Chain A
């Protein structure tokens, strides 16, 4: 890799490449095929990495402090108090960067040293990839990686076709076909290729994977080149023996490398808040500095100048103003610990820990597809606990994306409602045994030879882009781009129209046992706008026919006028199917005369060759021929719901998360899926449907919906009076009357159509749409394009300060996933593009509830608790210096020993708070799923916001006051029992530091809600390490080696042996902790949060059931409950049968109670409909002692 050089050359306007002419190509200095993704080498690592790290503001700040400390007049702290933490932080990052880069080096080397066969002077030579140059001709063999972006020259396959897999490039695992320009394909063999001297003129390197635009000049002729002729680096050659390609782009210029740019960096709201707070703290720091500097000026003038006989001014600092200036910087150094360098590192560590917990979670592991959940981004975890809006794709996300051909309508006759599955084997040896259909009349109709039915299935067998693979005779495997296409072709196969194979120009089928080969004249491909696809084929008899299948709305418009009646019948069927939640397609055909075909073919060719607006012109040409078609019928495909979707949605909406489904499906299907997955319920007073076609009508509909909502919620409010009476008994005020849109409790649903949505997203309608839609509990947008999906997400991000989550599985969800705060990819059926773009991925929609309600909630809670405590402990630590300033002449003397200042943040107090940030739990995971309301504090941002921050700061400052003034008051007059005064500086320092460490340890003990072994080890370990390190630093041994570094010799022993010191520490600790304790107790006692109540419940349960059933939800077998030995020996020995039978009885009862418990706990997650009782509780924060809805049903079921 060292041979790689990255000399930047001037911007490339166009690229000229002449085959087999290295000299010519070298003039342009194109990049070689050597890639270098690594950033450093051994020599440059240190400087470059340090340079990068110091681009971080925090690091620069600490470097600046370090420089300040080297100035003797300013240096209030030794240099090591800053350099040790800084070095620690820098080296942790550097080690991480170095490991990352090492792996990049390894993969670079491996890739650069891959062998490829290059045609040099007519001979094939093995060359390393990195030595391949632009203009070389490379020979590729099957299953080889493509070494660079190549122009396909020739292939061993007929028609110059070759097949590639692009998984590494775009994540799509389907096979794609590429074709060479026919003139070069004729070159075929090596000798001809060696003398090939065509020149390619093409676009400069870019990152567009699906576009290439160039021209080949050869023998005075021009040939247009498109992406269809290109083999891109990163692809794998498949099903192709060999092929030759001309290197166009190499190394860093390839589309693969051009695409590997940095991804958009997402920040969480906590991150943003943290940055603001850090800025505020800086401001605070400057204020403190200014106050103390002013103090210094006054002191030096009033006192210091008189005190000069004992303490003269430095010769360089001869007046009080300059002294004050220096003292400002000295105090900036001392007080810098209010913004500890370890903050950002600790936050990252905690998030990393949470990400690992997500990856490790067994409950989010799908055993069918062997996929565990994956946190692909480690920086967003706590935002998972604040989600308010979920935007979900339907297909593949809510549904399994396994399609089954369920019903069809042929010529006005509907099929598919039968009692038993059909057996196709006697009729058709080629049938797919897995295929099920429930109506034998259709099979009869095929057997009878009904023309329409035959035509119907012929269409299905011809009009598609499925590839077949016939491993042995009759063993067909279809590879379809979308699963419903596969289902349709499979259906045709079973009904006797078997698609066997295709070439670019032909399709071979077996129709009712008779092989037929059709000439494929054209494929009018599917896209999102057209929503249909057609093929034009010529059958063996020479008749030309266009077969078309597509969305009903599109297709029905293009039928022959005489089809009206059939259309109406079929339309009804389509509605019926859609109402059943089935995906529908309409099928039509058109017979073409030779003349028509000729005429169209010409216009098509013309459009195809066009260089400008090619797409549009092609679409127009397609449009032209897809007219006056004859309706054949319609198909209905069932899209099965994923496991647990309704339950998940029910739980999520109980958690006050609004779920929007954005789907490309038609309205009826979408609404139906909405009902079947419990997004829409019959309890809803109204489901508003917005389907207007004009701006005006959409606006009207939105307004009407809003008025109706207000009206309905008023009447409900009235109806609730009785309920309020009931509440008054519980001493709880009724919720304030709501008349604003924001306060409407969202029991409404909104369904909006794609074209209405387009209007609703216009600038002047935005707010209206948002206010209507956000008042609804469920919103379904149907027929939306991928772009609209992203627009909707952006809209909510813009108008609501809410955290959005987008979940999807397909390429059409990528834009939505990228624009939402959190993107979740379902690693399911439709390739992995969504996963690659996502922040989290798993394979089942139902894992979303665990991700949000358990992991997200915990992450948020932990992060908030961590931040609160972190700011608290640093203020408590630092502000002591501020108070001391008033007693030491504002001279920036520190209160503590320098080693204590160095180690406080990185040793004495780092681990307990990290342990809390990583392991803390307020309620067990099962409970947070049972009581989804527990999720609310995160959405309302209650646990860490500016208010909470100020409370922490105030608490920290209070603690610092106590920590300074209590020792100050006690020690000023106190003496040791031997008479020596205790008011010396070192004793004071040790006392304050010890009190500080103890107070913050007690505080973390109070904050920690979940004491695992690790917490114990860290908390006690930190205290232990404090005492042992202090005793070591104050020991004689160290002093005798470095007498000038360890001034505190003997202080620890002498101080800690004094009872007065311990009494002081105890006093200070009590004064610091008691108010906190009282305050927290009052909060829990008078205004318990739901989590407090649940915790309390847990405690009560534990006491009731003993320790055994306590850990909820762990589904262990009965034996697992008995951690002691079994009773086998006791029974067989027959020693004391009475005792053993007694023991057995208790064993059994324990067992059963545990089992019942498990069952009881499981039940509420299966509650399908949220009970009506949940309504009055919405948004009424004060009445939490009223059991939340899930609890009601829980109680009802168990009693």
Chain B
């Protein structure tokens, strides 16, 4: 029954309802007149006009083509020599080694591979070893390491992370360095001999340092017990040097490990596949243990299954003589690393370097191609624009 419904309205017709937010106060609710609230912020409104897009294409083209040519020329000037010594073919000198080898064999197998450099290599020459079909980027492989241990943490040395499984413990002793990466470290020894035309064979001096990243060598990797500790003692966890090593270790690690740790440290063992323990990688103390550069280089896992890693550097000896003159050479391989089980390949690479690194023809070609395509696109678009575009419609409308 609405017979008695009456209206009580404000005279101005304004109706306010007391919502949950509180009573309505009679003040002006006019929104603020700010550029932000009124969506009038000053703004730059770019438009894709012929005047902006076409020059952009030409500029890209004109920029990329010279860069590409530069890159291509630079890359072409770099000398690179590659030799596969896997020994997959029967004709290969390393065939025997590759056939007979297993991780357990005690006597090293050596093979020599002769090769000929057609051009002399000026300046520093970089020696790489390359592996193919080796999945260093497999998820389980990549994570199978303990960076804390590699950094020299005593606690991790004693108790490797479980990421290292199944290469964390062997015979109840912690493995140092633990994990699948360390376990599979490349251990062929490569040596180069220059066969002088007069018949003598000269061993070429291979520099073993300067091949790892600075941060890896100085930050990421560190020996337990500090720089000047007795490594064998630290890793073996026994012997007369134990207390010394520990005190050093304690000094170094006092911030990280509690003092009770030192009493329970026992010895570590080498990775299963290794012939030598980690503290015997090099006689040079600063290149031994976890900071051994060969080891560090191996531990920096590759992104793709075919990769190369820096092995040695042949420093330029004098201005007059090329580092590697043209002529006959012999590569002497101590064949320790089996790859045939998974159809892998092993290579040795010699390369010089420019400002942009090693030989890299792709980049130059790609730049030239992209640059030309852009330029060409620019021309095509210009033609299309000229023939069919509606250049002036806007201006017509505006009047």
Q: A residues touching B (Cβ–Cβ < 8 Å)?
A: 76, 103-104, 107, 163, 165, 167-168, 171-177, 226-228, 238, 303, 306-307, 309-312, 314-315, 330, 356-357, 359-362, 365, 367-372, 465-467, 479-482, 486, 504, 523, 525-527, 827-829, 831-832, 836, 858, 887-889, 891-893, 919, 921, 925, 966, 968-989, 1009-1015, 1036, 1039-1040, 1043-1044, 1047, 1049-1050, 1053-1054, 1058-1060, 1063-1064, 1067, 1070-1071, 1074, 1077-1078, 1080-1082, 1084-1086, 1088, 1092-1101, 1104, 1111, 1114, 1185, 1187, 1191, 1195, 1198-1199
B50 and A174 within 8 A (CB): no
Contact check, B17 vs A168: say whether CB atoms are below 8 A apart: yes
Chain A, residue nearest B4 (CB): A177
Q: A173-B7, A888-B137, A1093-B393 are in contact. Are A1077 and B30 (CB under 8 A)?
A: no
Task: From A174, A482, A888, A1058, give the contact of B135 (CB < 8 A).
Answer: A888
Query: Out of A311, A527, A827, which one reaches B180, CB within 8 Å?
Result: A311
| Complex contacts, B180 vs chain A, CB 8 Å | 310-312
Given A309-B341, A981-B309, A1101-B398, decide whether A361 and B38 contact each other with a Cβ distance below 8 A.
Answer: yes
A642 to B334, CA, bound (A): 98
B361: nearest chain-A partner, CB-CB? A973
In the assembled complex, the CB of B15 is this many whole angstroms from the nearest CB of chain A, namely: 5
Contacts A983-B307, A984-B300; A892 near B139 (Cβ below 8 A)? yes
Q: Is the CB of B303 within 8 A of A971?
A: yes
Q: Which residues of B contact A892 (CB under 8 A)?
A: 139
Q: CB distance A465 to B9 under 8 Å? A: no
B131 to chain A, nearest CB (A): 10
Flag if B357 contacts A977 (CB, 8 Å): yes
A contact residues around B384 at 8 Å (CB): 1082, 1085-1086
Q: A360-B38, A1058-B357 given as contacts; is B14 within 8 A of A371 (CB)?
A: yes
Chain A nearest Cβ from B6, distance in angstroms: 4
Contact among A362, A921, A983 for B302, CB-based, below 8 A: A983
A-B contact pairs, 27 of them (CB 8 A): A76-B139, A174-B9, A176-B5, A177-B4, A228-B1, A303-B133, A367-B28, A465-B6, A479-B8, A481-B5, A858-B39, A887-B304, A891-B135, A971-B303, A972-B307, A983-B307, A985-B137, A986-B300, A1043-B147, A1043-B151, A1044-B161, A1050-B216, A1060-B356, A1067-B367, A1070-B374, A1088-B393, A1198-B399
Cβ of B146: which chain A residues have Cβ within 8 Å of it? Answer: 1044
**Nearest chain A residue, comparing its CB with the CB of B300:** A984
CB distance from A458 to the nearest CB of B (A): 20
Interface string of B138-170 (1 = CB under 8 A from A): 111110101110010100000001000010000
Smallest CB-CB A-B distances: 4 pairs: A1050-B215, A1096-B394, A174-B7, A988-B303
Known: A465-B6, A481-B5, A1039-B219. A362 touches B357 (CB 8 A): no
- CB distance A966 to B397 under 8 Å? no
Task: Indicate whether A361 sits within 8 Å of B31 (C-beta atoms), given known contacts A307-B135, A1059-B355, A1099-B49.
Answer: yes
Quick check: B39 and A919 within 8 Å, CB to CB?
yes
* B residues less than 8 Å from A1092 (CB atoms): 47
State in angstroms the CA–CA spacing of A982 and B128 once bound together. Answer: 13
Do B381 and A975 have beta carbons less than 8 Å apart? no
**A1011 and B399 form a contact (CB under 8 A):** no
Write out the residue numbers on chain B whose beta carbons fall within 8 Å of the beta carbon of A1047.
Answer: 147
A975–B362 contact, CB under 8 A?
A: no
**Chain B 36-72 interface mask (CB, 8 Å, partner A; 1/0):** 0111111111111110010011001000100100010
Interface contacts beyond A981-B302, A1088-B390, A1096-B47: sample of 12 additional A-B pairs, CB < 8 Å, sorted by A: A104-B20, A107-B20, A303-B133, A887-B305, A888-B138, A889-B135, A970-B363, A1054-B214, A1081-B48, A1086-B390, A1092-B47, A1185-B390
Q: State A314–B399 Cα separation when bound (angstroms).
A: 76
When distances are taken between beta carbons in the complex, the residues of chain B under 8 Å from A107 are: 20
Answer whether residue B301 sits at the interface, using C-beta atoms and an 8 A cutoff.
yes
Residues on the A chain within 8 Å of B377, using CB: 1074, 1078
Closest residue of chain A to B142 (Cβ to Cβ) is: A893
Cβ contacts under 8 Å, A827 to chain B: 15
- Determine whether the beta carbon of B215 is less than 8 Å from that of A1036: yes
Tell me the minimal C-beta distance from B395 to chain A in angstroms: 5
Q: Which of A973, A979, A984 contacts B303 (CB 8 A)?
A: A984
CB distance A980 to B398 under 8 Å? Answer: no
Shortest Cβ distance from residue A963 to the other chain B in the assembled complex, whole angstroms: 14
Write out the residue numbers on chain A whose beta carbons fall within 8 Å of the beta carbon of B137. 887-889, 891, 893, 985
| Chain B minimum-CB-distance residue to A1067 | B366
Alpha-carbon gap, A49 to B56, bound state (A): 53
Q: In the complex, A970→B316 CA distance in Å?
A: 28
B358 within 8 A of A: yes
B343 in contact with A1064 (CB, 8 Å):
no
The distance from the CB of B293 to the nearest CB of chain A, in whole angstroms, is: 10
| Contact of A1097 with B397 in the complex, beta carbons under 8 Å | yes
Query: Is B359 in the interface zone, CB < 8 Å from A?
Result: yes
B38 in contact with A365 (CB, 8 Å): no
Q: Bound complex: CA of A1077 vs CA of B140, how far in Å?
A: 41
Select from chain B the residue with minimum beta-carbon distance to A1111: B40
- Point out the residues of chain B lying under 8 angstroms from A1195, CB to CB: 399
Residues of A within 8 A of B394 (CB): 1093, 1096-1097, 1099-1100
Q: Please name all residues of chain B whose beta carbon is closer than 8 Å to the beta carbon of A103 when the two chains form the complex.
A: 20
Q: Are A1013 and B141 in contact (CB under 8 A)?
A: no
In this complex, what residue of B is CB-closest to A477?
A: B11
Among B13, B148, B356, point to the contact of A1044 (Cβ < 8 A). B148
- In Å, the complex CA distance between A362 and B134 comes to 67
**Nearest CB on A from B138, distance (A):** 5
CA distance A1111 to B215 in the complex (A): 54
Known: A360-B31, A525-B3. A984 touches B302 (CB 8 A): yes
Identify which of B205-213, B236-244, B276-284, B317-325 touches chain A.
Answer: B205-213
Whether B8 contacts A174 by the Cβ 8 Å rule is: yes
Contact indicator B184/A310 (Cβ below 8 Å): yes
Q: Which residues of A contact B176 (CB under 8 A)?
A: none
Q: Which of B45, B136, B138 contacts A1010 (CB 8 A)?
A: B45
Chain A residues whose CB sits within 8 angstroms of the CB of B246 once the complex forms: none
Shortest distance from the beta carbon of B32 to any chain A beta carbon, whole Å: 7
CA distance A1179 to B13 in the complex (A): 42
Q: By the criterion CB–CB under 8 Å, are A1100 and B303 in contact?
A: no
Given contacts A827-B15, A1059-B355, contact A1009 B220 (CB under 8 A): no
Given that A975-B358, A1077-B48 are known contacts, is A311 also in contact with B14, CB under 8 Å in the complex?
Answer: no
CB-CB under 8 A from B32, the residues of chain A are 360
B213 touches A1086 (CB 8 A): no
For B29, list chain A residues within 8 Å (CB): 365, 370-372
> Which A residues touch B1, using CB under 8 A?
226-228, 525
Contacting residue for A974 out of B17, B64, B166, B360, CB 8 A: B360
Residues of chain A lying within 8 A (CB to CB) of residue B357: 974-977, 979, 982, 1058, 1060
Select from chain A the residue with minimum beta-carbon distance to B78: A975
Q: Are B139 and A888 interface neighbours, CB within 8 A?
A: yes
* Contact across chains for B366 and A1050 when beta carbons are under 8 A apart: no
Within 8 Å CB of A972, what residues of B?
Answer: 303-304, 306-307
A360 and B6 in contact (CB under 8 A), knowing A306-B341, A1053-B215?
no
Closest B residue to A1008 using CB positions: B46
Nearest residue (CB) in A for B359 is A973
Decide: A367 near B30, CB < 8 A? Known: A168-B17, A888-B137, A973-B360. Answer: yes
Complex: A575 Cα to B354 Cα, angstroms: 98
Given A76, A177, A975, which contacts B353 in the complex, CB threshold below 8 Å? A975
In the complex, the chain A residue whose C-beta lies closest to that of B352 is A979
Which chain A residues border B43 with CB–CB below 8 Å?
919, 921, 1010-1012, 1015
Counting CB contacts under 8 A, is B331 at the interface? no
Cα separation A968 to B362 with both chains bound (whole Å): 11
Q: Which residues of A contact B342 (CB under 8 A)?
A: 303, 306-307, 309-310
Residues of A near B4 (CB, < 8 A) are: 176-177, 465, 504
What are the residues of chain B within 8 A of A1050 when measuring CB–CB? Answer: 213-216, 219-220
Q: In whole angstroms, what is the CA distance A1040 to B256 when docked?
A: 10
Inter-subunit contact A985/B9 (CB<8 Å): no
